[in-house]
């Protein structure tokens, strides 16, 4: 059966639902019933319907009609027409049958089909469900599935309204962008501390700030490319790494240095990856992101891996001896590629 036809086959009229319920009951299956508007289907809906299906053999869903939603929500709802809402709900694997509910409350449908379980999602108490007593009277049970997500259709609509009230920012345009300088971090910009994860131990090396300001003034974009195998080895977390970077960027930013982006490889030496230097993954990605040709890109670093990665990526390289950042900057600025 075509996937679209399979979904449509789950959407039943009231009379068709009568037959479906009779067939499922005759087969000895435990039937669950739930209902709702399902306007702007979200993770909470999917989670609760999946959990509801775990409680029964077959799950039937009554979707409030447009008129019903307008009455019990507000005159501006629903956002999505009933036919489309029913189709989306029917497309979920947890749902076995869908019908339209014209009433605001499900009582008449519950009494018509007498499902084994009346299931609701949310923060209701079982004894607060107004139709619950009627279900218990005919021998059925009531169950409430707590939502695993804080969202709701109303919250989504509110967020959309807030976002739509803001104009999207223009894309940043680099003025006078002449080339790209990719910078190793540890041993090049800051003192090399093995498996650095404490922001308090960030120490910017001599000449780095003045040198970066010169590169920036020459119209060169700056980005960091750094191996961080301590993450892969479990010595520190990605959040620890970010905290160190925040400290570095805060100090550089206070002096007017702008680092455009930070690329990092979290993998250990024993892992197979294309990003850990001397592999070229981070470098080629950076050049692609900045639309920088290799011949207009420099990689500055303090190790053989940095030099090999830069050379293999086709860009220029300059080795930085600890404390000798100024000399490396002069070499970059005096090159003939600009």
pLDDT (tens digit, 9 = 90+) per residue, 129-141?
Answer: 778 899 999 999 9
> Assign residue 28 a region: left if phi > 0, alpha if psi is -120 to 50, beta otherwise?
left
Task: Judge contact between 183 and 189, C-beta under 8 A.
Answer: yes
pLDDT computed for residue 172 by the predictor: 52
Report DSSP letters for 222-272, one per residue: EEEEEE-HHHHHTSS-HHHHHHHHHHHHHHHHHTT----EEEEE---TTS-
Return d(Cα 312, Cα 75) in angstroms, integer: 64
Tens digit of each residue's pLDDT (9 = 90 or more) over 184-210? 999 999 999 999 999 999 999 999 999
- Higher per-residue pLDDT: 167 or 58: 58
Return d(Cα 138, Cα 115) in angstroms, integer: 10
Return d(Cα 338, Cα 336) in angstroms, integer: 6
How many of the other CB atoms lie within 10 Å of CB of 24?
20
- Element at 308 (helix H, strand E): helix 304-312
pLDDT computed for residue 121 by the predictor: 83
Tens digit of each residue's pLDDT (9 = 90 or more) over 55-102? 999 999 999 999 999 998 888 889 999 999 999 999 999 999 999 999
Report DSSP letters for 108-166, one per residue: HHHHHH--SEEEEESS--GGG-TTHHHHHHTT-EEEEEPPSSS--HHHHHHHHHHHHTS
The torsion angle over the Cα atoms of residues 222, 227, 231 and 233, rounded to 10 degrees, is 180
The confidence band for 337, taking pLDDT boundaries of 50, 70 and 90, is confident
Q: How far is CA 133 from CA 61, 128, 226, in A?
A: 20, 10, 64
Return the closest-CA partner of residue 17 out of 97, 85, 110, 90. 97
- In the chain, what's the furthest Cα-to-Cα distance? 89
Burial classification of residue 260, based on how many CB atoms lie within 10 Å of its CB (0-12 exposed, 13-18 middle, 19 or more buried):
middle
Write out the two tokens for 264. Answer: 């990092």
The confidence band for 176, taking pLDDT boundaries of 50, 70 and 90, is low
* Confidence (pTM): 0.54
Answer whether residue 173 shows pLDDT above 50.
Answer: no
Write out the two tokens for 299. Answer: 């990689």
Domains contained in the chain, CATH given: 3-163 (3.40.50.620), 179-333 (3.40.50.1000)
Q: Three-class SS of residue 274? A: coil
pLDDT computed for residue 45 by the predictor: 93
Average pLDDT, rounded, for the chain:
91
- The beta strand positions in the chain, using DSSP E, are 31-36, 58-64, 97-101, 117-121, 141-145, 179-183, 220-227, 261-265, 297-301, 316-319
What is the share, in percent, of the chain residues with pLDDT greater than 70?
94
Return d(Cα 221, Cα 211) in angstroms, integer: 13
Return d(Cα 78, Cα 38) in angstroms, integer: 9
What is the share, in percent, of the chain residues with pLDDT greater than 90?
78
Return the closest-CA partner of residue 208 out of 187, 180, 237. 187
């Amino acid at each position: 059966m075509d996937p679209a036809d399979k979904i449509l086959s789950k959407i039943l009229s009231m009379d068709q639902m009568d037959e479906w319920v009779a067939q499922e009951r005759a087969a000895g299956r435990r039937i669950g019933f739930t209902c709702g508007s399902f306007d702007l289907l979200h993770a909470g809906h999917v989670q609760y319907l999946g959990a509801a299906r775990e409680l029964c053999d077959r799950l039937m869903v009554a979707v409030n009609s447009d008129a019903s939603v307008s009455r019990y929500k507000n005159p501006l709802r629903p956002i999505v027409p009933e036919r489309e809402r029913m189709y989306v709900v029917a497309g979920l694997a947890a749902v076995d049958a869908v019908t339209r509910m014209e009433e605001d409350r499900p009582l008449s449908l519950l009494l018509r089909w007498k499902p084994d379980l009346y299931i609701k999602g949310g923060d209701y108490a079982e004894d607060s469900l107004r139709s619950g007593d009627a279900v218990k009277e005919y021998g059925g049970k009531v169950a409430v599935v707590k939502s695993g997500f804080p969202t709701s259709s109303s919250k989504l609509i509110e967020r959309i309204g807030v976002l739509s009230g803001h104009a999207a920012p223009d894309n940043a345009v680099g003025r006078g962008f002449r080339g790209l300088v990719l910078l190793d971090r540890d041993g090049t910009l800051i003192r090399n501390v093995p498996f650095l994860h404490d922001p308090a131990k960030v120490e910017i090396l001599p000449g780095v700030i003045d040198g970066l300001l010169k590169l920036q003034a020459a119209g060169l974009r700056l980005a960091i490319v750094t191996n961080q195998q301590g993450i892969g080895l479990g010595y520190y977390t990605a959040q620890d790494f970010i905290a160190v970077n925040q400290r570095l960027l805060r100090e550089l930013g206070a002096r007017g240095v702008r680092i455009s982006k930070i690329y990092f490889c979290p993998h250990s030496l024993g892992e197979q990856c294309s990003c850990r230097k001397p592999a070229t993954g981070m470098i080629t990605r950076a050049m692609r992101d900045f639309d920088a040709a290799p011949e207009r890109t420099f990689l500055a670093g303090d190790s053989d891996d940095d030099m090999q990665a830069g050379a293999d990526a086709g860009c220029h390289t300059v080795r930085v001896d600890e404390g000798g950042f100024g000399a490396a900057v002069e070499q970059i600025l005096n090159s003939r590629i600009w």
